[in-house]
Amino acid sequence: MIPVANIKQMRECDRYTIEELSLPGLVLMENASRAAAAEAIQMLDGDVLGSLVLIYCGKGNNGGDGFAIARHLSNNGADVEVVLIGETKDLKGDAKTNCGLFLKLDGIVHEVVKEDDFPLTEEIPDLVIDALLGTGFEGRVRGLYAEAIEHIKTFYAPILSVDVPSGVNAESGLAVEPVVSADVTVTFGLIKLGLLLSPGRQYCGDVKVADIGIPPDVVDKQDIQQFLISEDDVKFHLPRLHPAAHKGDAGHVFIIAGSPGMTGAAALSAEAAMRSGAGLTVVGVPESLNPILEAKLTEAMTLRLPENDNGFLTKDALSICKERIEWADVVVFGPGVGCDKDTVSFFEGMLEKLDKPLVIDADGLNLLADNPELFSKLPKNTVLTPHPGEFSRLTGLSTTKIEAGRIEIVRKMAKKWNVALILKGAPSVTAIPSGDVIINTTGNAGMATGGSGDVLTGIIASLIAQGLDVKAAAWMGNYIHGAAGDLAAEELGQQGMVASDIIKFLPKTLKTLS
């Protein structure tokens, strides 16, 4: 997995490399600028000679990177002009050194100390580079820096941001206009949290991580516990069928779901489990709903369960479920099951004796929120899959506070509840009791549709049934779910997507990954 740094960890990597290993900061800046310049050349389709490149620089190290990039592009034949917010005489350290080098090569620097100082460029630039504000930025961009961002927005040209788009908080992802909206962001050393969290991620474009010479041992010293899933991670762990396998070898999934008006949730979870590779799937539903499920489902089996007068599960269903729970490799509880008091009694009774992996979603989460004493009864191999609203009910925190501290709050609650915890959203994150948080960036806005979470539940259950531990199944299920949604959006568009479209693209997704 790809380590993701918070700002403190990234600064310590830089400090240790410079002070303890005696690798000069100017060398790190040179490595960074070379990588960014190489990306700039790619954005120019390799046609650098005579291309007009405007580079907007601040007075700090981010601006120092910009001056070094200007030198490299100028050396490759580009016509480069730098717009500096401030005066060259005020620059310090490595930024001053790189500005001086650029000027010695007859580089053009426009000093901006008031609004009228911004240069008027009649020619449309071929590329604009944002090197205004770096990882130390917090709050809202104001003054001449805000004016610089508004100038950048006026150009009909591709934009490359250096390390982080100006206006994006590299720690939290907070971004309040004005913000540079980049086509490509070249970030240095390690990817930063704020480039993956909303709303910051929407401003980054395609994020490229540049190796600037920080040794791996230095990164290891930071005890980083945030990671980004890569496709290779999923490919490595994906279950594979033995050539002589039969349906019993691919795992057994038992889903307890459904209530009046909510049979679709049960069907979607079951279909997703089957399409994700589960060998056998059984869906237990209130008995009056069984004919509906038998019509909806072809490959999955159904189990009629006792219900009360309102059509919700009762505690009497426990004895009938016992055999299927023993048969199953994983149990799913919650999709469309309702929150009736009789269902609470069933849920509590099931938890008292359950020693199988358990995936809880939807109404199962709402039952936990209403009955927090049940957290202590969860089996050790439990996966919870809330969206922000459900997570708010589970924790008592506002969705605003949750989104502002998505990583740390999910980490804390996974430890407290001793579960694998997925917080759905953009991005979806998975936290495990060890404190590790795994970030997933597959998926798209078209997946914000009813039933999408039921599909995710089925995928995760299927992976557990096929032999993955619950922690790996949680983050892998997250990735596969999003990847299938991306394929669906690519073919169908986001606007009209429904949850069953995600299921339709699961086989193609798994084929690609395998």
Report yes or no on 495 lying in a domain: no
Residue 126's domain is classified under what CATH number? Answer: 3.40.50.10260
Residues 251 and 373 in one domain: yes
Q: Please tell me the predicted confidence (pLDDT) of residue 485.
A: 98
User: Which residues lie across from 129 on neighbouring strands?
Assistant: 55, 160
Q: Could you tell me how far CA 114 lies from the centroid of its own chain? A: 40
Q: Please tell me the predicted confidence (pLDDT) of residue 142.
A: 96
Closest to 428 (Cα-Cα) out of 485, 487, 490 = 485
Residues 192 and 260 in one domain: no
* Alpha-helix residue ranges (DSSP H) falling in 166-307: 216-220, 231-237, 263-275, 290-296
Domain count, the chain: 2
What three-state secondary structure class fits 342?
helix
Residues 211 and 293 in one domain: no
Residues 193 and 69 in one domain: yes
The residue type found at 172 is: S
Report yes or no on 132 lying in a domain: yes
Local structure of residue 381 (DSSP, 8 states): S
Where a domain ends, among 224, 250, 276? 224
Residues 282 and 390 in one domain: yes
In angstroms, the Cα distances linking 2 to 44, 113, 219, 224, 423 are 28, 41, 11, 10, 19
Report yes or no on 310 lying in a domain: yes
At 177-222, the pLDDT tens digits run 999 999 999 999 999 999 999 999 999 999 999 999 999 999 999 9
Report yes or no on 514 lying in a domain: no
Q: Please tell me the predicted confidence (pLDDT) of residue 426.
A: 86
Whether the CB-CB separation of 239 and 467 falls below 8 Å is answered with: yes
Residues 405 and 285 in one domain: yes
What is the domain extent for residue 91?
12-224
Residue 312's domain is classified under what CATH number? Answer: 3.40.1190.20
Q: Which two tokens stand for residue 38?
A: 């190489």
Task: Indicate the average pLDDT of the chain.
Answer: 95
Report yes or no on 510 lying in a domain: no
Residues 341 and 455 in one domain: yes
Q: Please tell me the predicted confidence (pLDDT) of residue 249.
A: 74
Residues 140 and 90 in one domain: yes
Report yes or no on 513 lying in a domain: no
Residues 189 and 257 in one domain: no
Report yes or no on 230 lying in a domain: no
Q: Please tell me the predicted confidence (pLDDT) of residue 509.
A: 97
Query: Hey, how many other C-beta atoms are within 10 angstroms of the C-beta on 42?
Result: 12
Helices and strands, counts by H and E, the chain: 19, 19
Residues 185 and 271 in one domain: no
What three-state secondary structure class fits 49?
coil
Where a domain ends, among 178, 195, 224? 224
Low-confidence ranges of the chain (pLDDT < 70): 244-245
Residues 458 and 316 in one domain: yes
At 129-139, the pLDDT tens digits run 999 999 999 99
Residues 208 and 249 in one domain: no
Report yes or no on 186 lying in a domain: yes
Taking phi over 0 as left and psi of -120 to 50 as alpha, with beta for the rest, 127 belongs to: beta
Q: Please tell me the predicted confidence (pLDDT) of residue 455.
A: 98
Place of tokens 């005020």: 90
Where a domain ends, among 224, 250, 285? 224
